[in-house]
Chains A and B, each alone.
Chain A
Amino acid sequence: MSERSEAFWLGVRALLPMHLGVMPFGIIYGIVALQSGIPPLAAVMMSSIVFAGSSQFLLAQLAAAGAPALLMVGAAGVVNLRHALYSASVAPMLKQLPRRWKLLLAYLLTDEAYAAAIPHLLASPGSPMAHWILFGAGFALWAGWQIATLAGVVLGARLPGNLSLDFALPLTFIAIVVPLLTDRRRIAVALVSGALAVILAGLPYKLGLFCAALAALALAAVPARKGSQ
């Protein structure tokens, strides 16, 4: 197998367990979108046009509530502000790529793809195959998300069962974060970010997540200046 396809499949494999959580999430989105009065074609197409789970749920809710168009667009954007952090995190690793690669990987840069790829990207800094890992993870999520929303729209509310499968997503994020907690400062960043995210959970449009992560990051950088320089 070539180095490229090895890196691609590494990304795909890292993402696959998340489908356990993404599939039910996507199916529920499909059902909710139809119930919100969004036509089936638009509900399915939104998964590739917007391609952001929480924004899509929000757009469906706001469409049902008859919210003004500008508010809907703004809210959908604010929900994804945290993705700017992922963008900053992977940007140095993608510096040398041609523009079409940057555009493609930006389109595919979701919570899940970032989470699946980042341990591998951090493990081999400067790897010329980094973009293939990220592409593998991003594409695997994209394909799963399209299938899941299509299933939700087609099968509708006929799908059975509540095994709490959505819990697979937080579990996967735990599996990714815990091994990264290799020193006291990293543990402190996790504790502060986690606690603030709970305290700020009442903020609309997932702003609490974004603010909690920013505050914890600020804390991470400050002592580094005094101590190590």
Chain B
Amino acid sequence: MSLWLVMFAAGLLTFAIRLSFIALEGRYQPPSWFVAWLPFVPIAALTALVTPDLLLVAGELRLGLDNARLWAGLVAIGVAAWRKNVLLTIGGGFAALWAIQLSG
């Protein structure tokens, strides 16, 4: 029974975090430095989400040729910069990943 309580409490807390600034908007005037941050949020947050996946293997920094995800990720960054297309980027990244995995 307590598992359900934990689930509902964790769900409520998660919801409250996601709602936080959406609910506050219009009720207070955020400081100007905070507003200046906002355009950079997607870059800062999404990059932080990606780099550990590319550079770490089981928590260890791995920059060698054997880290397939690092090189496949770099290929994807190249494709994304070149064509700015989501499907091409995913396709290029997977092609590189599988090629490295098969050859390794």
Contact = CB atoms under 8 A, between A and B. Distances in A.
A51 interface: yes
A55 B84 CA distance: 31
A106 B23 contact: yes
Interface string A201-213: 1100000111011
Contacts of B4: 42
Contacts of B89: 171-172, 174-175, 178
A195 to B, nearest CB: 7
B44 A84 contact: no
Contacts of B51: 193-195, 197-198
A164 B93 CA distance: 11
Interface in B13-64: 13-15, 17-26, 33-34, 36-56, 59, 61
A85 B49 contact: no
- Secondary structure of the B side of the interface? helix
Interface stretch (A4-12, A23-31, A75-83, A146-154): A75-83
A155 interface: no
Given A180-B43, A202-B59, A225-B33, A86 B18 contact: yes
A137 interface: no
Contacts, number: 255
A82 B86 contact: no
A173 B77 CA distance: 10
A83 B17 contact: yes
Given A81-B17, A106-B19, A167-B72, A194 B47 contact: yes
B94 to A, nearest CB: 7
Contact of B55 (A50, A176, A198): A198
B11 A170 contact: no
A140 interface: no
Contacts of B101: 164
Given A46-B7, A220-B37, A106 B22 contact: yes
Contacts of A218: 37
A145 interface: no
Contact of B43 (A52, A103, A111, A186): A186
A197 to B, nearest CB: 4
B90 A63 contact: no
Contacts of A163: 98
B3 interface: yes
Given A176-B46, A220-B36, 6 more contacts: A88-B20, A103-B19, A193-B51, A197-B47, A213-B44, A217-B44
Q: What 4 A-B pairs are tightest by C-beta distance, nearest first?
A: A175-B89, A178-B80, A106-B19, A197-B48
5 contacts: A42-B7, A63-B3, A85-B44, A85-B45, A213-B44
